[in-house]
Amino acid sequence: MAVFLLLREIFANVWRKLTWFALGLVIAAHASIAYLGLYLAGEKHLLEPATFIYFYITTTATVGYGDLAPQSAGGRVFDAVWLMLGGIALITAVIAKVTNLVIELWRRNMKGRGDFSARTGHTVVVGWVGGESDKIIELLQQDDASSDDRVVLVDAAAEENPMDGVVDFVRGESLSSESLLIRAGVRGAERILVHTSSDEQTLATVLTINALNPVGHVVAHFESSASAQLARKYAPKLECTSSMATEMLVRAAQDPGSSKVFSELLCVGEGATQFSYKLPQLFASTVGDLYLSLKNDFNAVLIGYQAADAEAPAINPANSTPVKGGVIFYIADQRIEEGHFA
């Protein structure tokens, strides 16, 4: 038994190394010799094309329904020796090739060797910082705005996909590598989040991403405000976030409960959350009319408006402020579906 298993493993390895083209040629040759052997054995009832294909597949697959069989002794011997034994070998080869293909695809994703450069409309997260990155991805997946496709995680330190089955994964020598970011599909991504272990690495990555001219929105987290300002200087469209721990400490001391409100507005779970909505270019209204419309239609509260040519949003603008395109910021229990203000 051990010898048989060893031989089968050796045989499977040999077949596995064959290309699909070579395996196809072997199968074609085997079928051709089978047809010729049955012809020489006088098994004419098996040689009609459709009948032969049916008989060949059921026999080599060892199914053997019994509705078709060789009638002569020579035909039966040929069928047993050539079709059955050869069919088992070919099935072993196909199974080995398919298994190897599945394992290789899994290994490519686990080891970060995949290529998602053709993907569009997805989310790219650059940098894996343990629990913080895990929380980022969890929040992304809770929000319908970024659940349209799997997140692509980019890292240079992790040896394998740290969230296998949850995100796709690409790995390279450096997070600021242009080829690595292209493989992650940053050019066609709808949103790109950069959160690394250091401001220097974040800055280098942001500059590389900016050079690739992505179509999506880029957000980067910096611990230092100076680093954030430098990044915005060379990447004007970049949106930066920074640690608000000090500001929140002071605000909570002066206005008790402020930290809870701030946390609630950023949470994607139950309760009111702060969202944004990009208005159509031809949309025209005023802040006051839009405020009432949002409150009546969605029980949402308008808190800010950023005109198309403005660098930052105006928070709590006057009711008379004209609204022409741009982006609104509001608080609601759920996101307003795209196309409502079309």
Per-residue model confidence (pLDDT) at position 306? 94
Check which CATH number belongs to the domain holding 277 and give it.
3.30.70.1450
- Of 110, 145, 179, the residue at which a domain comes to its end is 110
- Answer yes or no: is 204 within a domain: yes
Residue 342 lies in a domain: no
Residues 99 and 133 occupy one common structural domain:
no
pLDDT value of residue 20 = 77
Least confident of 102-106, 120-124, 177-181: 102-106
Q: Which two tokens stand for residue 75?
A: 């035909």
Complete edge-to-edge strand list for the sheet that includes strand 273-278: 273-278, 327-332, 301-306, 314-315
Mean pLDDT of 137-161: 80
Model confidence pTM above 0.75: no
| Residues 150, 229 within the same domain | yes
For the segment 12-40, the average pLDDT, to the nearest whole number, is 79
Question: Which of 60, 88, 110 is the last residue in one of the domains?
Answer: 110
Return the residue matching tokens 């915005």.
232
Residues 327 and 269 in one domain: yes
Specify whether 237 is located in the same domain as 129: yes
pLDDT band at 1; cut points 50, 70, 90: low
- All residues at 6 or more sequence positions from 193 whose CB lies less than 8 Å from its CB, including other chains: 123, 124, 125, 126, 136, 140, 219, 220, 221
What is the pLDDT confidence band of residue 185, given thresholds at 50, 70 and 90? very high
200 belongs to a structural domain? yes
Q: How confident is the model over 189-240, as pLDDT tens digits?
A: 999 999 999 999 999 999 999 999 999 999 999 988 888 888 888 888 888 8
Q: Which two tokens stand for residue 165?
A: 């089955």
Indicate if 207 and 262 belong to the same structural domain.
no
Number of folded domains that form the chain: 3
Domain shared by 140 and 177, yes or no: yes
CATH of the domain at 9: 1.10.287.70
On whether both 62 and 17 belong to a single domain, the answer is yes
Identify the CATH number of the domain in which residue 191 sits.
Answer: 3.40.50.720
- By the 8 A CB rule, do 152 and 112 touch? no
28 and 128, same domain (yes or no): no
Alpha-carbon gap, residue 11 to 29, rounded angstroms: 19
Do residues 139 and 188 share a domain? yes
CA distance 31 to 56: 7
30 within a domain of the structure (yes/no): yes
Domain contains 229: yes
Sign of the Cα pseudo-torsion (171, 173, 179, 181, in order)? positive
> Is 66 in the same domain as 138?
no
Same domain, 229 and 261: no
What's the confidence (pLDDT) of residue 218? 92
Whether 341 is in a domain gets the answer: no
* Assigned domain for 249 exists: no
Provide Rg for the chain, Cα atoms: 31
Domain hosting residue 89, numbered range = 2-110
Final residue of a domain: which of 83, 110, 137? Answer: 110
- Asked whether residue 292 is assigned to any structural domain, the reply reads yes
